[in-house]
Amino acid sequence: MSQAAVAGREEFGPALPIQVAAMARLSITRLIRQPAAVVPTLIFPLFLLAVNAGGLSAATDIPGFPTDSYLTFAIGFTFIQSGIFSTMMAGQGLAQDIENGFFSRLVLTPMRQTALLSGQLAGLVLLGQFQALFYLAVGLAAGAHFEAGIGGYFVLAGLISIISVGFGGVGLIMAIRTGSGEAVQGMFPIMFVLLFFSSMALPRDLIQQDWYRFVATINPVSYLIEAIRSLFITGWDGEALALGFGVAIVLAITSITLAARSLKGRMLK
Amino acid sequence: MSRVYFSSAWAVAWRYLHNLYTKPAVFLPSLLFPLFFLAAFAGGLSAVGDAPGFGYYDFTAFQFCFVLIQASALAGVFAGFSIAADFEQGMGRRMMLATTHRSAIVLGFAIGAASRLIVTWVVITGVALIGGMGVAGGPVNLAGMYSLALLANVAALLFSSGIALRFRSLQAGPLMQMPVFIILFLAPVYVPQDLLSGWIEPAASVNPVTALLNAARSLMAGEPTGVLGAFAVAAGLIVVMGIWSIRGLRRAETAG
């Protein structure tokens, strides 16, 4: 399909908000109908949180550790971990559409790229909000402190939304470029490496190994974790929040831009 | 009879190893994952070794013992994946027709899973030594530590083969992997058992992997403690999982 044909095709059909709503409904319905895919993304981060909170509580005795509750320290990691799972879910959903031919049929409709991408991400943002509320409730029930209070919850929800879009965009890029659900799943270990080689387990200044501290410092995931962590431990830490929001916004803009370019290329095929 | 039996088992083991080492996409993740855990835990958490009451001579060695047991157990699970794949693709049925005693199939995969460990052990031990791990235990202690890891491998293989033979599909992969992953992480992974607190403390105390891990760490430190108990626990696990696996084999036979 030529570029002119794509542009011409988009002039017809329903208005953009209607298209976005239709794709969002599809994305959300898919999530609701796949509890087997959604539930593990909720439970697995909580399991790791529980194991780490119990197993690493002795770390709070290290001089300079910022809190006396390892649960409070570690819960920020849980939100980011679920964000990484979102990458896989977004990619898996679109890759499935490409594999079973649904995407090809969508391309033949007047659906705009913007609607396709934003609709795919809508379900993830909703899931992200649900996870944020769920993890916060479980964390507070288990004894974590949330220093930022009610206002902090809205900041947390906003940051989670941007992170969901950012990681979801990465998943969409992988799905569009490979067109294979198996290939998207194969990227999971790489995403996990990003997660583990960060400041997830200890504050960066307490990491003793120089090479590891360097990797954690250049790893953008560290700043996302630290922004969320600051809401739990210090309340309102402007620097941590600015860095976290900055990284999340850059990630979201970059991934969506690249996803849009990749999508255009696939539609032209 | 026994010659034919072992010949069948060797054939299954050889085929498994041939498939494994000719497919880097299958082999490499199982090799890289333990290295990744070793780097992440030993590198990122080394300050935990300074926590009051930690009391182990070397934090990298402390984490190495966990990674050794984990890599060995997961190698057994990955062999279970291969059994499931073989049955899914129809190869399992052909193997069952070709063997007089079908337990030779499980034995063959067990031999294959144990053989692949040699490469995994060499790589993770080499990387840990390059990373500065100190070894306090003598040759006999280290032989005991690697023997415990081998027994963990056999127990995990028998568990996952039981699942694979019942479901005969790779879709059962999470059922093989997740329980092993969970039981491994319910042991004292990051700190000695005495420093655990909260709900994980009682969970670790009844977890059989804790006995294996504590004994492996004591052997690594050259101060063996609870080693006989750990071998007894491992033997018990192998007996229970062996029964589970053989019953799975009977299910597969019944299903045809």
- B45 interaction partners in chain A (CB closer than 8 Å): 56, 59, 201-202
Mean pLDDT computed over B88-100:
85
Higher pLDDT, B245 or B44: B245
The residue written with tokens 């996302």 in the block is A224
Name residues whose C-beta falls within 8 Å of residue A114's C-beta, 6 or more positions apart in sequence: A16, A20, A260
Q: How far is CA B186 from the centre of its chain?
A: 15
Contact state of A196 with B44 under an 8 Å Cβ cutoff: yes
Higher pLDDT, B27 or A216: A216
pLDDT at B71 over 60: yes
Contact state of B45 with A57 under an 8 Å Cβ cutoff: no
Are B109 and B16 in contact by the 8 Å Cβ rule? The answer is yes
Q: Quick one: pLDDT at residue B88? A: 84
- A56 interaction partners in chain B (CB closer than 8 Å): 45, 48, 190-191
Q: Quick one: pLDDT at residue A35? A: 73
**Alpha-carbon distance B142 to nearest alpha carbon in chain A (angstroms):** 26
DSSP 3-state of B169: coil
Residue span of the structural domain in which A65 resides: 3-268
pLDDT at B155 over 70: yes
Contact state of B198 with A54 under an 8 Å Cβ cutoff: yes
CB atoms within 10 A of CB A189: 12
- A182 interaction partners in chain B (CB closer than 8 Å): none
Gap between the Cα atoms of A253 and A245, Å rounded = 12
Q: Would you give the DSSP letter of residue A109? A: T
Closest residue in B to A62 (Cα) is: B51
pLDDT at B31 over 70: yes
**Alpha-carbon distance B221 to nearest alpha carbon in chain A (angstroms):** 21
Most confident of A139-143, A260-264, B90-94, B99-103: A139-143
Mean pLDDT computed over B37-45:
87
Please name the residues between 27 and 56 in chain B that touch chain A, using a CB distance below 8 Å.
29, 32-33, 36, 39-40, 43-48, 50-54
**Alpha-carbon distance A56 to nearest alpha carbon in chain B (angstroms):** 6
What is the pLDDT confidence band of residue B192, given thresholds at 50, 70 and 90? very high
Which class for B160: exposed (0-12), middle (13-18), buried (19 or more C-beta within 10 A)? Answer: buried
Contact state of B52 with A55 under an 8 Å Cβ cutoff: no
Q: Quick one: pLDDT at residue A234? A: 93
**Alpha-carbon distance A228 to nearest alpha carbon in chain B (angstroms):** 20
How many angstroms separate the Cα of B208 from the Cα of each of A23, B145, B177, B235? 49, 16, 17, 11
The residue written with tokens 């962590």 in the block is A229
Q: Quick one: pLDDT at residue A44? A: 82
Most confident of A100-104, B23-27, B220-224: B220-224
Nearest to B43 among A59, A62, A212 (CB): A212
pLDDT above 90 coverage of chain B, percent = 61
Within a 13 Å sphere around the CA of B212, how many CA atoms are in the beta-carbon half?
31
| Residues across chain B | 256
The residue written with tokens 């994952």 in the block is B33
> Structure tokens of B159?
């568990």
Gap between the Cα atoms of A65 and A80, Å rounded = 21
Q: Quick one: pLDDT at residue B47? A: 87
Indicate if the alpha-carbon torsion angle B140, B144, B149, B155 is positive or negative: positive
pLDDT at B69 over 70: yes
Are A135 and A75 in contact by the 8 Å Cβ rule? The answer is yes
Closest residue in A to B33 (Cα) is: A189
Which class for B228: exposed (0-12), middle (13-18), buried (19 or more C-beta within 10 A)? Answer: exposed
How many angstroms separate the Cα of A133 from the Cα of each of A23, A128, A171, B84? 24, 9, 23, 39
Q: Quick one: pLDDT at residue A10? A: 52
pLDDT above 70 coverage of chain B, percent = 99
- A202 interaction partners in chain B (CB closer than 8 Å): 44-45, 47-48
pLDDT at B56 over 60: yes
Q: Mind listing the pLDDT tens digit of every residue in chain A (269 residues)?
A: 555 555 555 555 677 788 888 888 888 887 777 776 677 778 888 888 888 888 888 889 888 899 999 999 999 999 998 888 777 777 877 887 888 888 888 878 877 878 888 888 888 888 888 888 999 999 999 999 999 999 999 999 999 999 999 988 888 888 888 887 767 766 666 777 788 899 988 999 999 888 899 999 999 999 999 999 999 999 999 999 999 999 999 999 999 999 988 888 877 76
Are A73 and A200 in contact by the 8 Å Cβ rule? The answer is no
Q: Quick one: pLDDT at residue A47? A: 87
The residue written with tokens 């491994």 in the block is B184
Mean pLDDT computed over B171-188:
87
Query: Does B175 contact A at CB distance below 8 Å?
Result: no
Q: How many domains does chain A have?
A: 1
pLDDT at B1 over 70: no
**Alpha-carbon distance B130 to nearest alpha carbon in chain A (angstroms):** 14
Q: Quick one: pLDDT at residue A36? A: 67
Q: Quick one: pLDDT at residue A17? A: 81
Per-residue pLDDT tens for B210-219?
999 999 999 9
